[in-house]
Structure 1
Amino acid sequence: MSALVDVLMTHYGAPAMTADARVAASVPPPSVDAAAAAVLTACTDGADAAMSVFVHGCGGTLAALDLIERIHAAQCQQAFGVSLLMDEAVERFDQGWYRCMGPDDQTTDGTSPDAVKRHASFQRALKGWLRRRAAFPERTAQDWHEWITVSGTAWVVTASDPLWPAQLEDLRLHASWAPPLCLWGRGDVRALTACPAPLAIIGSRAVSDYGAHVAQTLAGQAVRAGHAVVSGGAMGIDACAHWGAVDALAAACDGQASLLDSASMPCGPTIAVFAGGLNHIGPSTNARLFEHIQTWHGALISEMPPDCAPVARRFLMRNRIIAALSSVICVAQARVRSGALNTAHWAQELNRELYATPGLITRADHTGCHTLIDEQAARILQSCEHIDDICHERHAPHWPSVAEPTADTTADTMQPADLSDNERIVLDAVRQCHRQRVVATASAIGQYCEASVAMPVVFAALGALEMRGLIANNNGAFAIL
């Protein structure tokens, strides 16, 4: 085990917390997988499909970080084993590739033109990760903790955590895409999963009174119906959407934020997604808005490490997260060259439902919206009052009750005593899929089961576990309840 992985295991290697326990503290501590994902993210330069595949092949973020750390240490010592470790990394990448692409894509000797090209691309990526790793400053164990948690002000979640928004895994649908390895956040971590199908409201920074009214009204109606509202935290339409949600939340609670802790509170949160790290949240003119989002149990999130600046290309990658988090995306106002159209493009690629707000044809304010409508990429938003026309059914947001963590109430140890051996094996396999960042389909679960458990038995156990309310089937992907 590498020195850094040993540090992370020492700090964060306690049994994983349940969703309830993670909100017992004002800033819940990261899991060891999330801490490892945070370090791996710093080794990349934004979204990195090669890293995502590599993590799959290694069996999780901790094992992936350990291998990179061992290569880094061998390079620093100019040891003879560097080439062997590099070969091991390529082998792990191949394993991840086959997991992602399926057995039909496997080649026996890795010498096909596609395999050679893929290996060369991965080796370039690996060299980049190692170069960035070599540039890390020397850090003590406490320094690492301060960096990962932004001096104790931020939480970090990854795909193996119970409060990870599962819809981000849709970013695995294409080989060149990648979901975030982790998300840093401030505010209420429960906001990420409070609504299964959030609404994104996006648009231009330059906003008209009409566009502002659409964004604010739509957001207010959405949170009153229990939905989460996602946007980018920028000036203009983004700010109007967030304010519309916050104002509706405040009105529903008579100005008392503590009421949102009630499981019966019929209001959803708002989530702001940033292009830069949490130390670069902006613009500063929205500082009061960001405080209110946190006060009203929303979240400020970023996939980038805390000190990463919000350079232009990161806004484009940020947009994919906004689209992936949401099931419906509404462009409230956009000119023909608005960055909101990039988010709309991601919405199309991810098969999200897309709406655009029509405006006056004599003004340029809505030319981007008109283009989306003309190309039949988006449906016309016909009302900002009737939220049921575009969103799923009204619901109470999912706010897990706060419970103190105990050694025997973790997600890994809570199992009914009367489970059959096969049900216990299959339930453990579902958890293993989540830990390894693998979508928990029946076939994937079968691969993590013991050899003695045949697929018909897996299907039967999944049905029994679902009937007992221990797992949920979301379009073929199983999740622990």
Structure 2
Amino acid sequence: MTGAAEGTTEDDAAARACLTAAADAGDAALGRLLRERPAAEVWAALRDGTLDRMLPASGEDRRRDRTERWRVQAAQVEADRLLDRAAEAGARLVVPGDPEWPGRLDPLGDRRPYALWVRGRKDLRNSCLRSVAVVGSRAATAYGLHVAAELGHSLAVRAWTVVSGGAYGIDSAAHRGALAGAAPTVAVLACGPDRFYPRGNEALFGEIAEHGVLVTENAPGAAPTRYGFLVRNRLIAALTPGTVVVEAGLRSGALNTAHHAQELHRTVMAVPGPVTSALSAGCHRLLRDWHAVCVGGAAEVAEQLGSIGEELAASGGTVMACDGLDEEARSILDAVPEKPGAGPAAIAAEAGTGLDTALRQLGLLAAGGFIERGPSGWRRRPGTAPP
């Protein structure tokens, strides 16, 4: 478990872990309470049956039903057991204010996750600094699968992280494309970090954990639910500055993700498809009625995503000054060659640091525009001298 966050104690971090196991994810009333009171106090109130007195008075009967259900579940929850189970699966707890906490989640306000369970070798926050959500239908066509895989690969080559939901269809194709492009990818799960769903993607999830990040707001042991998938979609949208819908029917969950992105004032993009395909109807509605941006490839996606996009390559600029780098980042940047490139292990050895440190700093340096991933590994971008 990481350290206390936002002025909280270790007890508050443990309380947040317990809340992920007992309470409904994304509950706005509970989220508001966590902004006003220490998490340990909220958890204690839930355990002793007094939480409903802290919540808003409106909808009192429904509120009591909900808090009573939470109280029953809370009676079975122990922080140490949760953390042990997570550790056995190779997962860690990340709470608001921790270095690995993605700041992009904060605009969710009262619906911000109570905590996150993260599994994988990469740093979640760093991985999402330069990221794109790629989502779409589970029952994808050959056209959709091809576009998603190509998009994921091309984004990865440009050092963009693909964020998706790990489902069959478009999600899987995008993740696999990103992995083939030798870049990290982030899968946002609707179950606990110690479970893989869908089971048929177990090998894919294992590869993502090895080269990217699995993240969920559901506690270890949690099974996926239909509600959980819908609530999960807000995280996919919030973790990135933009969402691309590759292929989706009119009732696709991908449109739910796009809706969350629009509410957060993030860029919504859609890939057009055949007018004869029902699985392109959702994308066409986004283009026609939601004023989504029409995109056909990674260059057009990157162009839409602001100052950390492809224009960096054209201008040779960075999004932060060299003197803003700490000593650790400077040593890693100094170890990155101009060409042809080097792998993380070689860079770590040159800098005299550990591989985990090198991987974390390489993500930050890429997000800052100092380095890029080439065919032979990481290299300094032209015109970027080490500090």
If the TM-score is normalised by the length of the shorter chain, which range does it land in? 0.7 to 0.9
Amino acid at match of 1:238: D
Deviation at 1:34, TM superposition (A): 3.1
Alpha-carbon distance in structure 1 between the residues aligned to 2:60 and 2:186: 34
Asked whether the equivalents of residues 156 and 181 of structure 2 are also in contact (C-alpha less than 8 Å), the reply is yes
Alignment of 1:68 onto 2:46 = yes
| Cross-structure match for 2:220 | 306
Match among 18, 22, 28 for residue 43 of structure 1: 22
Alpha-carbon distance in structure 1 between the residues aligned to 2:257 and 2:15: 29
Deviation at 1:55, TM superposition (A): 1.1
Deviation at 1:123, TM superposition (A): 8.1
| Cross-structure match for 1:115 | none
Alignment of 1:211 onto 2:126 = no
| Cross-structure match for 1:220 | 153
Amino acid at match of 2:167: A
| Cross-structure match for 1:178 | 111
Match among 268, 276, 279 for residue 191 of structure 2: 276
Secondary structure, counterpart of 2:57 in structure 1: helix
Alignment of 1:295 onto 2:210 = yes
| Cross-structure match for 1:464 | none
Cα distance change on mapping 1:170 and 1:370 into 2, 3 Å: same
Task: State the Cα deviation string for residues 432-461 of structure 1 (Å, max 9, x = none).
Answer: xxxxxxxxxxxxxxxxxxxxxxxxxxxxxx
Cα distance change on mapping 1:31 and 1:291 into 2, 3 Å: farther
Alignment of 1:331 onto 2:245 = yes
User: Gaps (5+ residues) in structure 2?
Assistant: 313-317, 320-324, 333-352, 356-387
Alpha-carbon distance in structure 1 between the residues aligned to 2:216 and 2:139: 23
Alpha-carbon distance in structure 2 between the residues aligned to 1:141 and 1:206: 39
Alpha-carbon distance in structure 1 between the residues aligned to 2:73 and 2:302: 51
Asked whether the equivalents of residues 18 and 77 of structure 2 are also in contact (C-alpha less than 8 Å), the reply is no
Match among 118, 129, 134 for residue 67 of structure 2: 129
Asked whether the equivalents of residues 33 and 158 of structure 1 are also in contact (C-alpha less than 8 Å), the reply is no
Question: Bigger radius of gyration, 1 or 2?
Answer: 1
Paired residues for 1:256-271 under 5 Å: 267=183, 269-271=184-186
| Cross-structure match for 2:295 | 381
Asked whether the equivalents of residues 50 and 122 of structure 1 are also in contact (C-alpha less than 8 Å), the reply is no
| Cross-structure match for 1:201 | 134
Amino acid at match of 2:139: A
Paired residues for 1:91-110 under 5 Å: none
Deviation at 1:281, TM superposition (A): 2.0
User: Gaps (5+ residues) in structure 1?
Assistant: 1-11, 18-29, 76-84, 94-117, 250-266, 405-481
Match among 32, 39, 42 for residue 53 of structure 1: 32
Amino acid at match of 1:43: A
Secondary structure, counterpart of 1:50 in structure 2: helix
| Cross-structure match for 2:94 | 157
Secondary structure, counterpart of 1:180 in structure 2: coil
Cα distance change on mapping 1:64 and 1:378 into 2, 3 Å: same
RMSD: 3.2
Deviation at 1:288, TM superposition (A): 1.2
| Cross-structure match for 2:255 | 341
Deviation at 1:236, TM superposition (A): 0.5
Secondary structure, counterpart of 1:310 in structure 2: coil
Asked whether the equivalents of residues 217 and 385 of structure 1 are also in contact (C-alpha less than 8 Å), the reply is no
Alpha-carbon distance in structure 2 between the residues aligned to 1:195 and 1:140: 31
| Cross-structure match for 1:322 | 236
Alignment of 1:390 onto 2:323 = no
Deviation at 1:344, TM superposition (A): 1.1
Asked whether the equivalents of residues 43 and 129 of structure 1 are also in contact (C-alpha less than 8 Å), the reply is no
Aligned residue pairs total 315
Secondary structure, counterpart of 2:278 in structure 1: coil
Alpha-carbon distance in structure 2 between the residues aligned to 1:186 and 1:390: 30
Task: State the Cα deviation string for residues 138-181 of structure 1 (Å, max 9, x = none).
Answer: 6777535424x253521111112111001111111xxxx50111
Q: Using structure 1 for the length normalisation, give the TM-score.
A: 0.59
Amino acid at match of 2:267: E
Paired residues for 1:403-414 under 5 Å: none
Deviation at 1:221, TM superposition (A): 2.2
Alpha-carbon distance in structure 1 between the residues aligned to 2:259 and 2:3: 40
Greater RCO structure (CA 8 Å; 6+ sep): 1
